[in-house]
Amino acid sequence: MKMRAGYSIFLLILSLTVCNAGKLSNTFYKNTCPQVEKIVREIIQIHTRNNPSLGAQLIRMQFHDCFVRGCDASVLLDTVSNSKAEKEAIPNQSLGGFDVIDDIKAAIERVCPKVVSCADILALAARDAISSPFKKSMWSVQLGRRDGRVSLATEISGNLPSPFANFTSLVQLFKGKGLNVNDLVVLSGAHTLGDSRCGAFSRRLYNFTSKGDADPSLDPTYAKILRKKCPNPASPAITVEMDPGSSLSFDNHYYDILLQRKGLFVSDAALLTDKNSNKIVTRLQRSRSLFFTAFAKSMKKMAAIGVLTGNAGEIRQNCRAVNPGKN
């Protein structure tokens, strides 16, 4: 009887261990690498002083990682042999900040070797780069992701939101990632940061319906300004702020320009074509604190897309390459 009771307790503990092994947690590295968040934060603070656009770079990198194969740091892997990695695909060729992730990984490996995943580092780094000007964390990051071993440029198409996408396409794509319309509108608010190459929106300026016309949903005065900045054909060397005058500030100003019909992409303007989505845009435009709260919630959902946990994947020693002996 005692043996059965003891065995039952053992099974209960084992069951709880297995369940917890598959979950993300705010205290995942409490015993194995308690310094991890401090290390990431300090390195990010150093880099943001020299690169104020780092927040835009890393939050975009995290989006692009999570929407393809889940949040497994596959976007960080370099190409091997003839199989091009995700970062070689055209939408990812303008990503930046890989060197920062390398610096953080090297620093953590010196203190906690083979413990902290590159996927977790990316999630923390993106949060801290956005948070740096505020001197506080803008959202909490749950940890415990493991790194993927596969990265294919061919998987980018159909998984990343296109700047040319209409509302229906965007909703379907986000739904496939476990995100809803509210998440779509809220996460689009990240377009308040950074800039874009002219090619991502030049069709709206010069040939929207293949008749040499402009997109009627784009403010005509703003379209004229954009045409001066982006001659036709589009040059990959020219970039434009996605949120004019606010591209280095994380705030809700994106929704101001959206309601002024100055959203840069077709996918931005698409958010105004649906009644429910339009209402969400208006609410977020009215309150910066509401946007910050909503963004924190949606980031938590986005950062958990398709995560590898437990014994899945690996903990890469170098974020650019799978561990030796792994396929």
Q: What is the DSSP string of 218-253?
A: S-HHHHHHHHHHSPSSPPTT-EEESSTT-TTS-SSH
Round to the nearest angstrom and report the end-to-end CA distance of the chain. Answer: 48
Q: What is the pLDDT of residue 22?
A: 62
Task: Say how many CA atoms lie within 13 Å of 51 toward its Cβ.
Answer: 17
CA distance linking residue 300 with residue 180, whole number of Å: 13
Catalytic machinery residues: 64
93: pLDDT strictly greater than 80? yes
pLDDT tens for each residue of 17-48:
333 346 899 999 999 999 999 999 999 999 99
Mark 46-59 as b/e (b = at least 16 C-beta within 10 Å): ebbeebebbbbbbb
Conformational region of residue 235, where left means phi above 0, alpha means psi within -120 to 50, and beta covers everything else: beta
197: pLDDT strictly greater than 80? yes
141: pLDDT strictly greater than 80? yes
> Could you tell me the residue ranges of all domains in the chain?
35-155, 167-302
15: pLDDT strictly greater than 50? no
State percent of the chain over pLDDT 70. Answer: 93
CATH architecture of 167-302: Orthogonal Bundle (1.10)
Q: How confident is the model at residue 81 (pLDDT cuts 50, 70, 90)?
A: confident
Mean pLDDT of 266-290: 98
- pTM, two decimal places: 0.91
CA–chain centroid gap for 45, Å, is: 19
- Give 279's DSSP letter: H
CA distance linking residue 327 with residue 306, whole number of Å: 20
10: pLDDT strictly greater than 70? no
pLDDT tens for each residue of 311-327:
999 999 999 999 997 55
At the top level of CATH, which class does the domain 35-155 belong to? mainly alpha
CA–chain centroid gap for 59, Å, is: 4
Q: At what angle do helices 167-176 and 181-188 cross, to 10 degrees?
A: 110
> Tokens standing for 110?
């010196």
Name 229's Cβ contacts closer than 8 Å, sequence gap at least 6.
198, 238, 240
4: pLDDT strictly greater than 60? no
